Amino acid sequence: MVFINSYFKCTYIVRVKEGVSGFRAREEIRKSASSLKKLIRSNNHEELVITSEDTYREAVADFTEGLVLSIYSFRKYKTRTEDEESGKNYPGRLLLADHISESALKWLDDLTDAVYLARNLINEPVNRLNSAGLASEISRTGEKAGFSVEVFNKGKIESLKMGGLLSVNRGSTDPPAFCILEWKPENPVNSKPMLLVGKGVVYDTGGLNIKTGDYMSQMKADMAGAAAVTGVFYTIARNNIPLHLTGLIPVTDNRPGGNAYAPGDIITMYNKMTVEIGNTDAEGRLILADAISYASKYKPELIIDIATLTGSAAVTFGNRAMAMMTNADRKYGDLLVECGNEVYERVAGLPFYDEYNESIRSAVADVRNIGGREAGAITAGKFLERFAEFPIIHLDIAGTGILKKDDYYRIKDGPGSGVRLLSVFLKRLSETYNKIN
């Protein structure tokens, strides 16, 4: 990077690294923008013009995306913000001086807004955003973006006998919620809906298997999957993508109080299957399983669930990739990998062998909610597969959805993992639908 400080303007020159091409070059440009954040801020620009010369077509959009995503901060509860203290502001205006279409510009604007939306939800503490609060925010987002939201209260959830969601909620003083999101344009390209499921645990103490040490400190972010699904719906609806999309978000916290469910309990799920509780800290898969089995009423083409589900996924891939497990047609997984490379929210496949079912076999119920120490991410995925009557892709974002420090433009605590990936995936799917079906 070259910085030129003239009397009337500042000029920043960023070069694409030699020997780097394709999606890696695009990521380097996003990271370069993030690296410039502090310098740009210190110069207190009122306006920043972004242009390119002799580079790839999306360079300006990629640089803008990296810059916008890197300048995010959650300051809602600061009585005096850092900008007020320093007297410095980020650029008041960004001007993209390049051949970028109006639709592409709108997509970039809405997509970065969606990531901000997801990050804001993730960063809200549970005393400010409990189950009812999250359901309200999802409804408010639907009104703004143009998709419908229906929220089931505890009475409705009890009438449906969603035993997983109700059991996890038993230790809480706040009732659960179950959110149904739908985007159905006038002429969708698909006759059967694509269905997204997001884990909405607004705070996870571990329940009676309570978390220890620092393992609880970031657990307000255990609803990152729900935030991602909400952000995806925002982007798809705002851009009028011609794809019928349904979303299911079960919402609760997981606490050890009251009549909290306990290891050894046997619960009955929405689809009548019985589950032996081996560990109350394996709660996410219980509420997701109810949602996944409820999804059958929509006869979806494909179910995609996204969740901060297992420490095993984080240990396996760190913050470099989401763990993907699937029994769906390979065309969906291949497109998801391709889109993951494009936005650099990469997915890495884990095997879905039937033999892994042995680890969650129960002697007293149909299935156990946890296996042994080995292959924890896979056995969690196999647990969810037991409740899916339609093809499913399971995305475990435990490593990418909660960060302990900034990773360039991926901000710590709540980077909004999955919003960009799934938004681009669904957009590309709508554009190529007839080719791959």
**285 given a catalytic annotation:** yes
pLDDT class of 90 with cuts at 50, 70, 90: low
Residue 257 host element (H or E): none
Residue 368 host element (H or E): strand 367-368
3-7, 30-34, 189-193, 387-391: segment of lowest average pLDDT? 3-7
Contact 281, 211 (CB under 8 A): yes
pLDDT in tens, 412-427: 978 999 999 999 999 9
Q: Is 85's pLDDT higher than 60?
A: no
pLDDT in tens, 5-53: 887 889 999 988 778 889 999 999 999 999 998 888 888 888 899 999 8
6-20, 199-213, 234-248, 289-303: segment of lowest average pLDDT? 6-20
Q: What mean pLDDT do residues 360-377 have?
A: 96
5-19, 29-43, 161-175, 268-282: segment of lowest average pLDDT? 5-19
**410 given a catalytic annotation:** no
Query: What mean pLDDT is reported for the chain?
Result: 94
Exposed, middle or buried by CB within 10 Å (0-12, 13-18, 19+), for 22?
A: exposed
pLDDT class of 436 with cuts at 50, 70, 90: low
Which pTM value belongs to this model? 0.96
Identify the active-site residue in 154, 192, 211, 428: 211
Q: What mean pLDDT do residues 384-412 have?
A: 96
pLDDT value at residue 81: 60
pLDDT in tens, 316-325: 999 999 999 9
Q: What mean pLDDT do residues 391-396 have?
A: 98
Q: What mean pLDDT do residues 97-122 have?
A: 93
What is the percent of the chain where pLDDT is above 70?
97
Q: Is 353's pLDDT higher than 70?
A: yes
Pairing of strands 322-326, 347-349: parallel
Tell me the C-alpha distance between 204 and 206, whole Å: 5
Q: Among candidates 361, 362, 352, which has minimal Cα distance to 382?
A: 352
Kindly report, as residue ranges, where domains of CATH 3.40.220.10 are found in the chain. Answer: 2-100
The architecture (CATH level 2) of 2-100 comes to 3-Layer(aba) Sandwich (3.40)
Q: What mean pLDDT do residues 210-228 have?
A: 94
pLDDT value at residue 55: 86
pLDDT value at residue 87: 44
CA distances from 315 to 232, 321, 397, 417 (A): 27, 11, 11, 17
Higher pLDDT, 98 or 46: 46
Q: Is 249's pLDDT higher than 80?
A: yes
Identify the active-site residue in 26, 30, 255, 285: 285
* Polymer length in residues for the chain: 437
Kindly report, as residue ranges, where domains of CATH 3.40.630.10 are found in the chain. Answer: 125-436
pLDDT value at residue 83: 55
pLDDT class of 332 with cuts at 50, 70, 90: very high
> Is domain 125-436 in CATH 3.40.630.10, yes or no?
yes
Q: Among candidates 279, 317, 311, 318, which has minimal Cα distance to 214?
A: 311
